Amino acid sequence: MTTEELHTCRQELYHHLTEELLPFWTARTVDQTHGGFITHFDQYGNDSGEDEKSLIAQTRSIYTYASAHRAGYGNGTLADLARHGVDYLLSRMWDAEHGGFYWMTNRAGEVLIDEKIVYGQSFAIYCLSEYTLATGDPRGIDYARQVFDLLQKYAVDTAHGGYFEMFHRDWTLKGPGPAGGDRKTLDAHMHLMEAFTTLYECTRQPIHRRKLLEVIDLLLRRFIHPDFGTGMPQFWADWRVAPQIKFDIIWGWDRFTEDGVKRSAEDNTSYGHNAEFAWLLIHALDILEIPYDTYGEQLTKPLNHAANYGVDWGFGGIFVEGSHNEVVYDREKEFWQHAEALIGFLDAYRLTGFDWYLEAYECVHRFVFDKMINHAVGEWWPLMTRKGVPIWTHMSHSWKINYHTVRSMIQSIRRLDLILAEM
């Protein structure tokens, strides 16, 4: 890509972020009646009416507004939105008796699901730490620390390492199988890494640094394939690879077979997760002030795999998932993989200087801007065919929120600025 082409990409990112994406959310998401955020919108951007507020959607929204404010957008309005979300989170979703945040309330703030899911607690740490970094409000880091401490007390597997993930309200571990009490996932541990990174950035406390380094080591030793450098989704408690099943309390709408088990479950990796893991690890090393070459191929292997096998060089964009070797299992195009691949491929170029990664970036960028963005409304289609025809048409629900898309634009702009400054 030429300097002019990179400038054009940057202009497209900035225009979409400031004129389409952020306005989509700031114009419609605030719940003025009950507090917090409304997060369910149809393909036209209309409130689709679901009577729920999930921990994932509320915390991700707080993170989005706080991080965008910290990056210099919004002239202060985004900080106000983040504060509005924190007020709801702390007053309606915090469990004052047992600690931690409930999984789901209705719109009025009445608890619907009182379980403690580590995936959701990780986003509470992430958003509240970011909120304090962005605004200086000490409430954020106070509660982030409390959640961190609860995870160390109740969720750590002291026998095998890592974190158990599914708990009842009182932090007793849930049962096996679909209840999830006997599983450990790449997804949750990867998000603990990003949460602990921002927590440590905010506090600079040695315990937070130690636990961040511990989860990085765990991810690289346990969750990443030793040969291909790709992520492996699910494990039993003792670190045997487990078939990838759908849990009773889910945090996404991945496509499973009718029996709830994923095809090729033990030879399955997500191209989007691999790109996301790599750039989140790079960011963690920046905060830890550890040189990239300390980890060498552990940084580049997942990015190389995503570019080699995940990028659709024929129709653009990036596939959903495939084997650790070469076979692509799912050739549909999902929004969040594209958001993470944009950041990951720019970081891959920054690490290696290989133009091929900029070509991979351009392939994904063009698919996003030509096919995946619903420009008339301002957000992204959630799931498309390989050629870019929408399959799912909602703009938002509890699992498809502003976190991936807004973060992708902010972080991609930041990386393009670094790359352009060196050209």
Widest CA span in the chain = 58
Q: E strand or H helix at 167, and its extent? A: strand 166-167
- Tens digit of each residue's pLDDT (9 = 90 or more) over 84-108: 999 999 999 999 999 999 999 999 9
Handedness of CA 9, 123, 197, 214 (dihedral sign): negative
Query: What whole-number percentage of the chain has pLDDT above 90?
Result: 91
Distance CA 310, CA 332 (A): 11
CATH number of the domain that 171 lies in? 1.50.10.10
Which residue from 308, 280, 281 is spatially nearest to 296, judged by alpha carbons? 281
pLDDT of amino acid 255: 55
pLDDT of amino acid 250: 73
| Residues near 255 by beta carbon (within 8 Å), at least 6 away in sequence | 330
In the three-class reduction of DSSP (H, G, I as helix; E, B as strand; rest coil), residue 412 is classed as helix
Distance CA 89, CA 35 (A): 9
Distance CA 313, CA 322 (A): 16
Average of pLDDT values for 347-375? 97
Counted residue by residue, the chain has a size of 423
- Tens digit of each residue's pLDDT (9 = 90 or more) over 157-214: 999 999 999 999 999 999 999 999 999 999 999 999 999 999 999 999 999 999 999 9
The mean predicted confidence, pLDDT, of the chain is: 95
**Residue 233, burial from CB neighbour count under 10 angstroms (0-12, 13-18, 19+):** buried
Residue 339, pLDDT > 90, answer yes
Residue 129, pLDDT > 80, answer yes
pLDDT of amino acid 423: 86
Beta-bridge mates of residue 104: 54, 113
Residue 55 structure tokens: 């921990």
Count of domains observed in the chain: 1
Residue 271: pLDDT band (50, 70, 90) is very high
Residue 267: pLDDT band (50, 70, 90) is confident
Residue 276, pLDDT > 90, answer yes
Query: What whole-number percentage of the chain has pLDDT above 70?
Result: 96
Residue 256 structure tokens: 């499973």
Q: Tell me the residue range of the domain where 265 lies.
A: 3-422
Distance CA 130, CA 198 (A): 6
Phi, psi (degrees; rounded to nearest 5) at 66: -65, -45
pLDDT of amino acid 262: 60
Average of pLDDT values for 136-145? 98
- Tens digit of each residue's pLDDT (9 = 90 or more) over 198-253: 999 999 999 999 999 999 999 999 999 999 999 999 999 999 999 888 888 876 54
pTM attached to this predicted model: 0.96
pLDDT of amino acid 244: 84
Residue 326: pLDDT band (50, 70, 90) is confident
- Tens digit of each residue's pLDDT (9 = 90 or more) over 277-299: 999 999 999 999 999 999 989 99
End-to-end alpha-carbon separation of the chain, Å?
A: 11
Beta strands in 159-301 (DSSP E): 166-167, 183-185, 234-236, 269-270
pLDDT of amino acid 342: 98
In the three-class reduction of DSSP (H, G, I as helix; E, B as strand; rest coil), residue 388 is classed as coil
Q: E strand or H helix at 113, and its extent? A: strand 111-113
The number of angstroms, rounded, from the C-alpha of 181 to the middle of its chain's C-alpha atoms is 22
Residue 22 structure tokens: 């952020």
Distance CA 295, CA 287 (A): 15
